[in-house]
């Protein structure tokens, strides 16, 4: 039987239209029933466009209606993995009440006629062409940043996301003539503008085809390679009540954690907590609770990759309580919203004054960054600053905040065995105060800590064998495995190991091949520049390339994770493999026994951070000679097991 496509939404023009079609309709997110129950209701223009898209798109397409885009709300986004992404801004503007005013210098402003006086005044909300551009840039830079990285090597990837603006109360020719001065500008030349008459007689289909929004895109392989379907679904996930398992977010809190959910009389609250102590859990609940009261919330951290984790958790909890409160929450890393340290450009998506400021991993922040954030807060804003100084891998100075901090010393994530190993590491280097030791409240079921001492070659060979063993265990899923490294160069070596095993993996940095391609490109482009200038430009472009991988790093998908320890801070997984090969030992710190020599303070903080990422099983492949003795003593005390591959091995050889 031939499937039937009918109109999507009840609408006076086309609600009785039924059309025989030879394919199934597209998927709508949220469902048609939910869209019909929206408050406020979809506009007439939005309904018309939704119905038109329903007629021209098939089951390979997904139509997102008013998705949440980290503080932004595009009207409609369409996507198919073998076609591309289309972003629609819809305007129901009355032609008699809106106009474009072209200035003598070629610039323009949108004007609206005042109802009383009839005077033309500048329209306060954003130009629709600027709006759709902002949505497109947001997806490239922040939501699917791996695409931004791909554009560095192939600029045509930009055409994968197509911006379109639909003017419901205008005809095509009329609106294009009205906007011709703007559309002739380079920054808007790739935007398609169309009117109501383009929804009839398959004209919309021709518009989509012309912009290559049709099956058979040349970017199909790229979209599959970067798993764009899952990434976009995650980025545009619409809040749904209880359709996601969030039991870990709803579990009972300790009395200390509950007390932090109540806004105290003082507007600033400092929290010192151990790894797994619930700092982030408290911040997530505070963000959603405040948004339910329609307060503007900024949840901010320093680590780029941690933003994905925070945003995912906030979205899950918000879905459970109030699907509309997400529009009041923005989650970002500091330098995304304030890109320059010594100035204050404000690139927040939600420009309103901040009512609740929540800072995670505060030990990474500088005092001046906090001052910039505070300048954007309401006078009576509530601020919560959470930190763990033992994870101070960037060696920032403590920020003085008045008031006695709340201390969360009980870890609900780390196993007792891992807590003992982490505490012993801090104790061994005189970095641990007894009252700040990690106190695990988890049951020590099947968790294991394994330690291997050897040079880099032996460490990589041993890691390779361990990965082969792990992937044969049907009780261990590949995405539950993370391999952490100290440097990107070590990450390339790990990637090579996984390539040899033909295993899919996800990095938070560029590949060796991409680095070489970029280097060749810069060498050619800057051939007449000095070696120093070429190196500076290479590092700048490399930073941009890597930022996309960092921001796009996420837990979903079926691949092994390969990540620097710096970027994995704040995350956690059940199986953590650490290739601990710190780059350059610096002046160290004395340990409890003078015969143990000097230890590198930066490396200790880095290893502590790596150890505390483990939920169950941890393996450390140590190549750092100054930690060989620590590993032996940890094994002797029973905090770790000696790796079977290290038993009866040859003497440790440094790099």
C-alpha 424/C-alpha 445 separation (Å) is 21
pLDDT, tens only, 87-98: 999 999 888 888
pLDDT for 446 equals: 66
pLDDT at 655 over 60: no
| 391 plus 309 within the same structural domain | yes
pLDDT, tens only, 260-284: 988 765 678 899 988 888 899 999 9
> Span 19-39, mean pLDDT?
76
C-alpha 274/C-alpha 48 separation (Å) is 54
Q: Are 582 and 600 in contact (CB under 8 A)?
A: yes
pLDDT at 468 over 50: yes
pLDDT at 591 over 50: no
pLDDT, tens only, 276-326: 888 999 999 999 999 999 999 999 999 888 888 898 889 888 888 887 898
Residue where a domain stops, chosen among 384, 412, 440 = 412
User: Which CATH number is 63's domain given?
Assistant: 3.40.1350.10
| 404 plus 462 within the same structural domain | no
- Per the rule left: phi > 0, alpha: psi between -120 and 50, beta: everything else, 597 is left
Domain that holds residue 612: 418-508+552-642
Q: How many domains does the chain have?
A: 4
Phi and psi (nearest 5°) for 63?
-110, 115
| 402 plus 459 within the same structural domain | no
Start-end of H helices in 139-278: 145-153, 172-178, 180-183, 203-210, 220-225, 228-235, 247-250, 255-260
| 455 plus 384 within the same structural domain | no
In a domain, 8, yes or no: no
Query: Any idea which of 68-82, 235-249, 361-375, 408-422 has the lowest mean pLDDT?
Result: 235-249
Burial bucket for residue 566 (CB in 10 Å: 0-12, 13-18, 19+): buried
| 483 plus 351 within the same structural domain | no
pLDDT for 308 equals: 83
In a domain, 327, yes or no: yes
| 89 plus 127 within the same structural domain | yes
Please name the residues in contact with 137: beta carbons below 8 A apart, sequence gap of 6 or more.
none
| 400 plus 518 within the same structural domain | no
pLDDT, tens only, 415-448: 888 889 999 998 887 655 444 567 666 655 568 8
The rounded mean pLDDT for the chain is 84
Name the CA dihedral angle for 633, 635, 640, 644, rounded to a multiple of 10 degrees: 140
| 466 plus 525 within the same structural domain | no
**Token pair in block for residue 217:** 């895109």
In a domain, 129, yes or no: yes
Q: What 3-state class would DSSP assign to 196?
A: helix
Residue where a domain stops, chosen among 412, 434, 466 = 412
pTM score of the predicted model: 0.69
CB neighbours of residue 429 within 10 Å: 24
pLDDT for 369 equals: 93
More confident site: 238 or 387: 387
């Amino acid at each position: 039987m031939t499937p039937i496509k009918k109109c999507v939404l009840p609408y006076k023009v086309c609600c009785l239209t039924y059309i025989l079609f030879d394919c199934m309709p597209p998927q709508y997110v949220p469902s048609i029933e939910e869209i019909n129950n929206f408050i406020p209701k979809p506009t007439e223009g939005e309904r018309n466009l939704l119905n038109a898209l329903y007629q021209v798109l098939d089951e390979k397409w997904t139509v997102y209606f008013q998705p949440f885009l980290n503080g932004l709300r595009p009207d409609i986004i369409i996507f198919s993995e073998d076609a591309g992404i289309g972003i629609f801004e819809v305007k129901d503007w009355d032609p008699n009440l809106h106009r474009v005013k072209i200035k003598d210098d070629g610039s323009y402003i949108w004007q609206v006629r005042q109802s009383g006086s009839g005077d033309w005044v500048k329209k306060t909300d954003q130009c629709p062409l600027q709006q759709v551009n902002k949505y497109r840039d947001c997806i490239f830079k922040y939501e699917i940043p791996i695409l931004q990285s791909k554009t560095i090597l192939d600029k045509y990837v930009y055409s994968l996301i197509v911006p379109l603006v639909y003017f419901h109360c205008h005809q095509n020719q009329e609106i294009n003539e009205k906007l011709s001065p703007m559309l002739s500008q380079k920054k808007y030349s790739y935007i398609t503008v169309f009117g109501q008459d383009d929804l009839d007689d398959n004209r919309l289909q021709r518009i989509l085809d012309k912009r290559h929004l049709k099956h058979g895109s040349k970017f199909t392989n790229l979209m599959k390679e970067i798993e764009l379907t899952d990434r976009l679904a995650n980025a545009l996930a619409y809040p749904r009540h209880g359709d996601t398992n969030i039991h870990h977010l709803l579990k009972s809190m300790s009395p200390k954690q509950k007390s932090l959910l109540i806004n105290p009389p003082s507007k600033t609250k400092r929290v010192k907590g151990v790894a797994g102590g619930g700092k982030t859990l408290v911040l997530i609940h505070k963000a959603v609770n405040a948004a339910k009261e329609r307060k503007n919330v900024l949840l901010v951290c320093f680590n780029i990759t941690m933003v994905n984790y925070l945003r995912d958790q906030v979205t899950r909890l918000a879905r459970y309580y109030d699907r509309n409160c997400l529009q009041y929450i923005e989650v970002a890393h500091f330098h995304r919203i304030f890109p320059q340290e010594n100035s204050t450009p404000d690139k927040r998506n939600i420009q309103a004054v901040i009512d609740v400021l929540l800072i995670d991993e505060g030990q990474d922040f500088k005092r001046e960054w906090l001052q910039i954030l505070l300048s954007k807060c309401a006078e009576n804003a509530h601020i919560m600053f959470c930190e763990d100084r033992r994870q101070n891998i960037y060696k920032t100075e403590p920020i003085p905040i008045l008031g006695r901090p709340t201390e969360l010393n009980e870890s609900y994530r780390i196993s007792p065995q891992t807590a003992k190993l982490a505490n012993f590491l801090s104790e061994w280097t005189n970095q641990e105060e007894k009252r700040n030791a990690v106190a695990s409240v988890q049951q020590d079921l099947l968790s294991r800590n394994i330690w291997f001492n050897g040079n880099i070659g032996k460490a990589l060979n041993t890691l390779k064998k361990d990965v082969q063993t792990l992937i044969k265990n049907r009780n261990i899923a590949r995405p539950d495995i993370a391999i952490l490294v100290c440097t990107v160069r070590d990450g390339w070596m790990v990637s090579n190991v996984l390539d040899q095993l033909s295993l899919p993996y996800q990095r938070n940095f560029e590949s060796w091949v991409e680095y070489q391609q970029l280097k060749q490109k810069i060498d050619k482009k800057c051939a007449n520049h000095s070696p120093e200038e070429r190196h500076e430009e290479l590092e700048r472009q490399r930073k941009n390339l890597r930022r996309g991988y960092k921001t796009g790093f996420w837990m979903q998908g079926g691949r092994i994770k390969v990540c620097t320890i710096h970027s994995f801070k704040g995350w956690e997984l059940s199986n953590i493999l650490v290739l601990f090969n710190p780059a350059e030992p610096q002046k160290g710190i004395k340990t409890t026994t003078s015969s143990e020599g000097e230890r590198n303070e930066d490396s200790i903080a880095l290893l502590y951070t790596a150890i505390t990422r483990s939920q169950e099983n941890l393996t450390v492949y140590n190549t750092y000679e100054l930690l060989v003795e620590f590993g032996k003593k940890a094994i002797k005390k029973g905090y770790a097991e000696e790796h079977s591959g290290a038993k009866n091995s040859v003497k440790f050889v440094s790099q």
